């Protein structure tokens, strides 16, 4: 019995350490839509300027970050100790935003930190890359057949071999498709009110609870709104989750602004009529309905 207890005493810390999140993620977005290049620890993360960049699987707690804007009139931004962990050293999903002050000078500000999400679904317009991953310039699909039909597919994040026996067919085909970027990035008009950018699942209950708590604990209404927008832009939301976030706001104007913004990040737009229930004034309900219908 003593030996068992002793073994458990040594094994438990190792198990807990293994279960601890070992990597974090970083998102940086421009509040005003200014395109930029991101450099982490001297490594350029994007070859094409973007407005919303997410770098995944960062193994270190701190990074030296530098931002170069596509607009050469904007001064570069630098941050020597950009934190990817919380106060306890746990790796997090951290978001920073670029915003301009009253003098129109760009600043890089901490925005939010939530537990690392599994099976993350990036929204339209977000550029995503795994840290340290080589930037592939092309995608090649090769099919070689001699008595069998075999397919080898090599693409970012995909490595698949398929073989089907066929004694009749025998041919070889090679197709190469050139891509212009090192990661995936989808585009959608910034001012579109069309839903459908989210084809996956909405946020998991636990992740959404943490995100909602972050919004509700934010002191100022404007900050609540910007935090909620970031959550919507970085995740897919169900209509019920949009309703729950709307109810956090104190003013109808904020609820309406967020309801309009979150519509395109909703997984079930057919149920968006439920959002009308958060408004006390019919005029706001009418405005949201007009926005959805495109009138």
Q: What is the pLDDT of residue 149?
A: 45
Residue 69 pLDDT > 90, yes or no? Answer: yes
Q: What is the pLDDT of residues 37-46, one digit of tens each?
A: 999 999 999 9
Contact criterion met (CB below 8 Å) for 160 and 153: yes
Q: What is the pLDDT of residue 15?
A: 47
- The DSSP bridge partners found for residue 177 are 139
Q: What does the block give as tokens for 53?
A: 């960049």
Mean pLDDT, the chain, as a whole number? 78
Could you give phi then psi for residue 197, rounded to 5 degrees? -70, -20
Contact criterion met (CB below 8 Å) for 65 and 82: yes
Q: What is the pLDDT of residues 153-209, one digit of tens each?
A: 444 444 445 444 444 444 444 444 434 444 444 444 343 455 545 666 888 898 899
Residue 4 pLDDT > 90, yes or no? Answer: no
What phi-psi label fits residue 135: left (phi over 0), alpha (psi between -120 and 50 degrees) or beta?
beta
Q: What is the pLDDT of residues 174-186, one digit of tens each?
A: 444 434 444 444 4
Q: What does the block give as tokens for 55?
A: 């770098």
Contact criterion met (CB below 8 Å) for 180 and 48: yes
Contact criterion met (CB below 8 Å) for 252 and 279: yes
The model's confidence at residue 92, banded by pLDDT at 50, 70 and 90, is: very high
Which are the contacts of 279, defined by CB distance < 8 A and separation ≥ 6?
A: 252, 255, 256, 285, 288
Residue 130 pLDDT > 60, yes or no? Answer: yes
Tell which wins on pLDDT, 234 or 65: 65
CA-to-CA dists, residue 272 to 21, 206, 230, 252, angstroms: 35, 22, 20, 17
Q: What is the pLDDT of residue 132?
A: 82
Residue 79 pLDDT > 70, yes or no? Answer: yes
- The DSSP bridge partners found for residue 77 are 67
- Say how far apart CA 288 and CA 246 lie, in whole Å: 13
Q: For residue 184, with 0-12 CB atoms within 10 Å meaning exposed, 13-18 middle and 19 or more buried, which class applies?
A: middle
Kindly report the CATH number that applies to the domain delimited by 20-132+183-187.
Answer: 2.60.40
Q: How many CA atoms lie within 13 A of 169 on its CB side?
A: 13
Q: What is the pLDDT of residue 106?
A: 94
Q: What is the pLDDT of residue 5?
A: 54
The pTM assigned to this predicted structure is 0.45
- Say how far apart CA 126 and CA 190 lie, in whole Å: 12
**What is the mean predicted confidence (pLDDT) over 252-273?**
93
- Say how far apart CA 184 and CA 167 lie, in whole Å: 38
Residue 281 pLDDT > 60, yes or no? Answer: yes
Residue 75 pLDDT > 90, yes or no? Answer: yes
**What is the mean predicted confidence (pLDDT) over 214-237?**
88
- Say how far apart CA 35 and CA 52 lie, in whole Å: 8
Q: What is the DSSP letter of 248?
A: T
Residue 10 pLDDT > 60, yes or no? Answer: no
What is the residue extent of each domain of the chain? 20-132+183-187, 138-178, 190-295
Give the torsion through C-alpha atoms of 203, 206, 209, 213, to 10 deg. Answer: -120
Give the torsion through C-alpha atoms of 7, 12, 17, 19, to 10 deg. Answer: 120
């Amino acid at each position: 019995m003593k030996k068992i207890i002793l073994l458990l005493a040594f094994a438990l810390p190792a198990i807990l350490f293994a279960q601890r999140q070992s990597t974090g993620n970083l998102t940086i977005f421009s509040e005003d839509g200014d395109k930029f290049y991101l450099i982490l620890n001297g490594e350029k993360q994007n070859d094409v300027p973007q407005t919303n960049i997410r770098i995944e699987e960062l193994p270190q707690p701190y990074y030296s970050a530098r931002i170069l804007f596509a607009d050469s009139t904007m001064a570069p931004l630098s941050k020597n100790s950009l934190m990817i962990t919380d106060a306890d050293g746990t790796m997090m999903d951290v978001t920073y935003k670029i915003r301009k002050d009253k003098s129109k000078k760009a600043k890089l500000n901490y925005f939010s930190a939530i537990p690392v999400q599994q099976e993350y679904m990036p929204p339209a317009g977000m550029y995503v890359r795994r840290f340290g991953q080589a930037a592939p310039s092309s995608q090649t699909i090769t099919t070689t057949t001699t008595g069998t039909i075999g397919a080898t597919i090599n693409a970012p994040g995909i490595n698949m071999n398929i073989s089907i026996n066929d004694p009749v067919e025998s041919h070889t085909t090679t197709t190469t498709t050139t891509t212009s970027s090192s990661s995936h990035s989808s585009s959608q008009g910034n001012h579109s009110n069309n839903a459908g950018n989210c084809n996956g699942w909405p946020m998991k209950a636990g992740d959404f609870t943490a995100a909602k708590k972050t919004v509700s604990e934010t002191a100022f209404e404007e900050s609540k709104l910007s935090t909620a927008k970031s959550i919507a832009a970085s995740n897919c939301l169900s209509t019920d989750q949009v309703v729950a976030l709307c109810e956090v706001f104190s003013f109808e104007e904020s609820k309406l602004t967020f309801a309009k913004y979150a519509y395109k990040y909703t997984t079930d737009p057919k149920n968006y009529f439920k959002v009308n229930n958060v408004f006390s004034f019919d005029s706001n309900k009418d405005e949201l309905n007009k926005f959805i219908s495109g009138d």
